[in-house]
Amino acid sequence: MADHHPERQSAIDAHGIIGDMRSAALVNDRGSVDFFCWPEFDSPSIFCSLLDTPEAGIFQLAPDLPGARREQIYLPDTNVLQTRWLSEQAVVEITDLLPIGDHDDALPLLMRRVRVVSGSATFHLRCAVRHDYGRADTQAQWHDKDVTFSAAGQPSLRLASDQRLTLDANAAVAQFTLKQNETAAFMLGASDDPRFAAGAAELCIQRTLLFWRGWIGQSNYRGRWREMVNRSALALKLLTSRKHGAILAAATFGLPETPGGERNWDYRYTWIRDASFTVYAFMRLGFVDEANHYMQWLRGRVSDCCGKPMKLNILYAIDGRQELPESELTHLSGHGGATPVRIGNGAFEQIQLDIFGELMDAVYLVNKYGDAISHEGWKHVCEVVDQVCETWQTEDVGIWEMRGEQHHFLHSRLMCWVALDRAIRLASKRSLPAPFARWDQTRQAIYADIWDNFWNEERGHFVQYKGGTALDGSMLLMPLVRFVSAKDPRWLSTLAAIERNLVRDGMVYRYRNDDGNIDGLSGTEGAFAACSFWYVECLARAGQVEKAHLEFEQLLRYANPLGLYAEEFDSHGRHLGNTPQALTHLALISAASFLDRKLSGEKSSWQP
């Protein structure tokens, strides 16, 4: 098999994603599923060749068409992926999906359907399930017409097909030839999944297509970038837990932010940092139910089952688990040799003050455009805001979860101001009881502190942290959260400094390490995609609409062929880091919405 289709690691941006809002899989443009965690988003992987070799698990399926042109598309307005081969001998397509189940507890089922559109082709299949990130001894057994994969202490999986399967080195293999209009189907899932029944495949596909098209049809975005905005929305919905309502930062772990480097993290969790961006994006597009569901999940993080307030963490597992111990998978060679490959995320133990602002911004937006806050909810808000009043002057690790020294970071101060500001606004609008004098006094104190201690007169710009001189991409949020006017002279001076020091062809770096090893890690990461879209929005709000338009169009060209983005860009605009990255797509939606209104000359009543 390997002789016919030698498999090497695919580039990060050479992937589409499929999912059922419980788990997700990456399919590369050669037709291989090379990343899949089962049965949950953050379960151990069963396919992990993206971070090693095919021995870490892979589902290869491709025609023997040397020199064929390959392309990937999503069936319109869905998360159903199609990989196509075009050659003189044949035109072939493989359709991949995780069907949407009848209920929230339905286990993920990987469905792959092959069709020859024209000519004839011989296909080669190799399905090598490798449980527990490739650490378990997975055994493949032939049973009747199917193959089962089992390992001690791990859930068994079953591969069914209408083609003859055989065994080779604890993998299912097949070789078959199809002519024009002939098809073959393959399903991999729990051994007792009822969807293995004869005739169920076509029904699953049609129901899944209807689900995605019905969902995206609710979007109220009608602007000039509708295709990209809808693709971003579909990616965000795919990363949202159907059962819990939380949204993943990304579908993957271990993909490098520095080629060959150590910046390899697990992003299969949900960050409070992303809360306001999530709510803004869903609300802006008209998906009020998703925003409300997300806020219900957030409420479960700030109070226990008895209604008592709890400590707010930086990140959580999608089911609300708070402890996510970090460990290294030393048996994996990493993507492009980037090690260590980490699972879990030690940032859950860090102190990060900005999360209070992001939480309160989300609460404020939902109350303005969604469900009104409950009495118990307001009591918890008061607890959070009182905590901000007591802690805003302390040091932390900042928005980027620095693993170096703690500082008084500007962004943390900014978001503490946001927490007070949104709480005061909400109390005023809803006539809710609040210690207005104390809150307003603290809000004014934070405001004065930022202007007095984070503005560097000599350099003519705001600085990343008190006493430092460096810039930071998170400063781009200052006008977006309405702390400073987008045309304030000091802000425009800061924006110009960011352009000189952090922007390269529209791609914005979070920070530079020229000011010492600020993040405690070796090497330099790529440009941060979300910051790049924040930059576009800042330009548009500053009145530089033509420049913003050009920069936005350039950034759109850095998407992969399917319209997806990872976390970062390398110097060539190729993707780095975990993928697809929710924060990037959230920032794209925000920038596209505002820029479209500016270009159209509209004045929207919708304001964050």
Which domains, and CATH codes, for the chain? 15-216 (2.70.98.40), 226-600 (1.50.10.10)
Backbone angles phi, psi at 335, to 5 degrees: -75, 120
DSSP label of 145: T
CB atoms within 10 A of CB 547: 15
CB atoms within 10 A of CB 263: 22
In the prediction, which pLDDT does 524 show? Answer: 78
In the prediction, which pLDDT does 1 show? Answer: 34
Q: Are 45 and 53 in contact (CB under 8 A)?
A: no
Kindly give the parts of the chain with pLDDT less than 70. 1-7, 303-310, 513-520, 522-523, 602-608
What is the C-alpha separation between 465 and 378, in angstroms, rounded? 32
What is the C-alpha separation between 129 and 554, in angstroms, rounded? 40
**Three-state DSSP state, 23:** coil
What is the C-alpha separation between 480 and 466, in angstroms, rounded? 21
Tell how many helices (H) and how many strands (E) occur in the chain.
Answer: 13, 28
- Residue 605 in tokens: 């009543």
Backbone angles phi, psi at 292, to 5 degrees: -65, -40
Q: Are 394 and 353 in contact (CB under 8 A)?
A: yes
In the prediction, which pLDDT does 199 show? Answer: 76
In the prediction, which pLDDT does 101 show? Answer: 82
In the prediction, which pLDDT does 8 show? Answer: 81
Task: Sort residue 334 into left (φ over 0), alpha (ψ -120 to 50) or beta.
Answer: left
- Residue 227 in tokens: 């295709």
- Residue 419 in tokens: 């927490």
In the prediction, which pLDDT does 2 show? Answer: 36
User: What angle (nearest 5°) sits at the alpha carbon of residue 195, between those of residues 190 and 198?
Assistant: 125
| Helices within 454-572 (DSSP H only) | 477-480, 489-501, 529-541, 545-557
In the prediction, which pLDDT does 302 show? Answer: 76
**Three-state DSSP state, 593:** helix
Q: Are 74 and 84 in contact (CB under 8 A)?
A: no
What is the C-alpha separation between 106 and 124, in angstroms, rounded? 30
User: What angle (nearest 5°) sits at the alpha carbon of residue 132, between those of residues 63 and 52?
Assistant: 50
Backbone angles phi, psi at 507, to 5 degrees: -95, 130
Regarding pTM above 0.85, the answer is yes
> Between the CA of residue 321 and those of 93, 301, 315, 578, what are the distances in Å?
40, 9, 9, 21
Question: What confidence tens digit (pLDDT) does each residue in 146-165 have?
Answer: 999 999 999 999 999 999 99
Of 31, 98, 110, 35, the C-alpha closest to 71 is 31
**Three-state DSSP state, 438:** helix
